Chain A
Amino acid sequence: MENTKKFADTAQYIVISMGDEQFGIDIKYIDNIVKMQHITRVPNVASYIKGVINLRGEVLPVMSLRLKMGLEEDVTTKNTRIIILRLEQYGMIGIIVDEVKEVLTLEESCIEKVANDSKEEKEGFVFAVGKCEDGLVSLLDLNVVAFEKE
């Protein structure tokens, strides 16, 4: 553990791009990032759940972050990735993102919490904004992302 640079006041985020916005996902929730693959559709579930995939023998649900956030349908490109999240409450879930950009180390001081009183659907997913050299990164609250809408 000595050689991994880990300080109490920094956190690492995977930066993804969705449309023209950049989002950050806390690296500690990420199990894996895989390329887009065949997704088996599951009938009669919420539209943002795209189906299930086989990840090394495990059947995992995959959802579209775009549809969940109320953006337009995904267009699969060669950059499209499925990020496999491991969440305490929901187990493993895959989320489809447009592109995975980089790993970003943010210091506590660069993270600014946002107030979640906005009524706009998209805003609830973001709990903070990180400031880095390339601009702003909206940090996703994964429990909200995964939360099932009725």
Chain B
Amino acid sequence: MDVSQYLEIFIDETKEHLQSLNTQILELEQNPENMDTINEVFRAAHSLKGMAGTMGYKRMQNLTHDMENVFSEVRNGHIKVNASMIDCLFQCLDALDDYLNKIQESGDEGTNENEMLIKDLNAMLNGSAGKVEDKKTETKAAEAVTDSSKEKWKDISLGEAEKHVMSEAAKQGKNIIGLTVYVQESCILKAARAFLVFKALEDLGEIIVSNPSAQDIEDEKFDKDFSIIMVADCDAKKAIAAAGYVSEIQEVVGSVMTPPVYEETVEEVKEENVQAEAVQAAQDAPTAKKAAPSTTAAEKKGKPVVNRTVRVDIEKLDVLMNLVSELIIAKNSLVSATNAEGAVNVGVNEHIEYLESVTTNLHESVMKVRMVPIESVVNKFPRMIRDLQKKLGKKMELYMSGEETELDRTVVDEIGDPLMHLLRNSADHGLESAAVRKERGKPEVGSIFLNAYQEGNNVVIEVRDDGNGIDVDAVRRKAIERGTITEEQAESMSEKEIIDLLFLPSFSTAKQVSDVSGRGVGLDVVRSKIESLSGEVEVKSKLGVGSTWIIRLPLTLAIIQALMVVVGGEKYAISLGSIQTIEDISPSDIKFVQSKEVITLRGNVIPLVRLNKVLGIESTKKEDENLIAVIVKKGDKQAGLIIDELMGQQEIVIKSLGKYINKSKEISGATILGDGEVALILDTNALL
């Protein structure tokens, strides 16, 4: 049973549940009595527990289990929500987040048991509540045992070999336990649950036989129940509890059974028994224990395979699908129009125009598929502000709007950090302390606004606060003090220019460096990040009234994967799509055909293009050095582009060179690198 295929879904869903828990608990902090929220929280915790259990993440499951218990008590009105509880719950969420990150990185949840948190949670349950639940399960189990018709394990027919193992085990004083496990009717991943039951039981002892067979269970070839006979050191109750601990298991019945009579007819056989046993064990292992090795395999497989996924609205996909079918129709009519004899040009243009409009729409739709609401990023901010509030000892409130605004997935992924910086900045530098605010006649609780909206072809995200604003004079003084600008320069600089100084690396006006911000690594990072996304940042500020940080991002981006190379000290990008291989060739391998340089590569004669000559620059390589050739392909044509150095693969945003430069046919566009430098994109088609 391989759970790795569910890993991605698990990670996605866990993230969602954690986010919802974060939001709901925040809500709960405001309205501790809100039943709807409590129910919501309970449900999220419950699903989280179930999912962690399914995936075999025990520690995560334990923690969520205890959280769920607390929520359950809250729901039943046994305990009240209070501040320390909320704090503890948030810590739990952070711990779960840690687990999730570890799982995402390595496929394993790590070894942090978070005992302190579990202890805290249990303390909240003030002892009695937890015990009641334990008793409940016990009585339930006891009841189950009495119901003999459910004990299907008794029907398992035993072969001689199994009987032998059992009697051997009995001799060693081990218990033989028969179990029948009933899976909930609503359970979707029956095989997964069964696998977990197997796994739980294997921790206790050895499974001898199961009905249906382990293979059938793995293939989900069973209805709602399956039976197991196992040998273990522990008693039946422990085994039942272990199996019952797996979620979505409705009921487990079982008891210790008497070993079947194994007739050892001949005395001499006894000697062979030792051998037979060994064989037996070997035979058992592949059937019953099959599950065990596959887990380790699953964990190994699960390690790096977490791809980034985009969840797509089904409507968008429908539009896409329709467009594709239209495209096929258009193509077909184009084909038939050109095939029709005597009517060579009739209608062709019309169809081509149609084709064009369809493909344009198709392109737009595909772009839209890449668009996701910024919600996923901004949702974590209320929690962050809450934490900052405690840390900074200031009162503040975050107001958000436009969370549904959509941006390209890559942008949404990247925008989180800059926004966080700006919010922290507002919270730390922007807002004044409550006392100062009162003095200035402002409400004690500071406000931070996060607004997102679309404006033409841009998406604008604003971070606004009603704090102190930027003290231009302070910035100016600081800049002079640091030697960033001279006094004369300062004189002539406009307010805006002075504020722009804030975006310089290592420039911080905070008088005290705090944990939150003020180390001067903030704003320049914000700016370079936003600029790498082809956006811009702007600040509007009024001393004493507050400041607004405006981020503008382009709505659509053309993004490609590219190989970055260096030719004569200049950086160029080659679209990965056109690259076949990269070869290291020695100068002696170069042959001449019609006085042009070629190489033979796996039977193909490939012409070489010295990029430094095409681009009109000196190569930094010596004559006798080995050459790096990037083999590019267009249709059935190939060419080897000789470059000086490989830099690596990168996702780049294509920018046009503008109307003014359009004569350079080797260059198809430009891109802005992380450091703000412009690199040109080579048009490999033109080079062939």
Contacts and interface: CB of A to CB of B under 8 A. Distances in A.
Interface residues of B, number: 30
Interface string A62-100: 000000000000000000000000000011110000000
B661 A42 contact: yes
Given A52-B678, A57-B531, A57-B672, A42 B664 contact: yes
Contacts of B665: 44
B670 A45 contact: no
Contacts of A59: 655-658, 670, 672, 678
Nearest to A39: B678
Counting chain A CB atoms within 10 Å of each CB, which of B533, B615, B616, B660 scores highest? B660
Residue among B531, B656, B661, B679 with max Cβ neighbours from chain A (10 Å): B661
A53 B677 CA distance: 7
A38 B677 contact: yes
Contacts of A92: 658
Interface in A20-58: 38, 40-46, 49, 51-54, 56-58
Contact of B570 (A40, A53, A91, A148): A40
A59 B680 CA distance: 10
Given A56-B536, A59-B656, A40 B666 contact: no
Contact of A44 (B660, B666, B670): B666
- Give the dominant DSSP class at B's interface: loop
B658 A61 contact: yes
B678 A40 contact: yes
A91 B616 CA distance: 27
A38 B531 CA distance: 16
A142 interface: no
Interface in B617-670: 617, 655-661, 663-667, 670
B405 interface: no
B531 A52 contact: no
Contacts of B666: 43-44
Contacts of A44: 615-616, 663-666
B668 to A, nearest CB: 12
A90 B660 contact: yes
Given A41-B570, A43-B614, A61 B677 contact: no
A43 B617 contact: yes
Nearest to B670: A59
Interface in B115-132: none
A27 B677 CA distance: 28
Contacts of A41: 570, 617
Contact of B661 (A38, A57, A58, A61): A61
B570 A52 contact: no
A146 B677 contact: no
Contacts of B660: 49, 61, 90-91, 93, 146, 148
Interface size class of A (residues with CB under 8 A): 20 to 34
Contacts of A49: 660-661
Contacts of B661: 42, 45, 49, 52, 61
Interface in B300-356: none
A13 B450 CA distance: 40
Nearest to B667: A42
Nearest to A43: B615
Given A54-B676, A57-B535, A45 B614 contact: no
A61 B616 CA distance: 18
Contacts of B617: 41, 43
Interface in B534-563: 534-536, 554
A91 B554 CA distance: 18
A66 B533 CA distance: 34
Nearest to A58: B655
B484 to A, nearest CB: 14
A18 interface: no
A29 B619 CA distance: 40
A54 B655 CA distance: 10
Interface string B482-518: 0000000000000000000000000000000000000
A106 interface: no
Contacts of B677: 38, 40, 54
A60 interface: yes
A43 B678 CA distance: 14
Given A52-B670, A57-B534, A57-B535, A42 B680 contact: yes
A44 B613 CA distance: 11
A90 B676 contact: no
Contacts of B534: 57-58
Interface in B179-198: none
A19 B570 CA distance: 31
A84 B570 CA distance: 24
Interface string B426-450: 0000000000000000000000000
Nearest to B571: A40
Contacts of B664: 42-45
Nearest to A52: B678
A46 B667 CA distance: 14
Interface of B: 531, 533-536, 554, 570, 614-617, 655-661, 663-667, 670, 672, 676-680
Given A44-B616, A53-B678, A59-B678, 11 more contacts: A40-B678, A41-B617, A42-B667, A43-B667, A46-B663, A49-B661, A52-B661, A52-B670, A57-B533, A57-B554, A59-B655
Rank and list the top 9 A-B pairs by shortest CB-CB distance, nearest first.
A40-B678, A43-B615, A57-B534, A59-B655, A61-B660, A59-B670, A56-B536, A61-B661, A54-B678
Interface of A: 38, 40-46, 49, 51-54, 56-61, 90-93, 146, 148
26 contacts: A41-B570, A41-B617, A42-B664, A43-B617, A43-B664, A43-B666, A44-B663, A44-B665, A45-B664, A46-B663, A52-B657, A52-B678, A52-B680, A53-B678, A54-B531, A54-B677, A57-B531, A57-B533, A57-B536, A59-B655, A59-B656, A59-B672, A61-B660, A90-B660, A91-B658, A146-B660
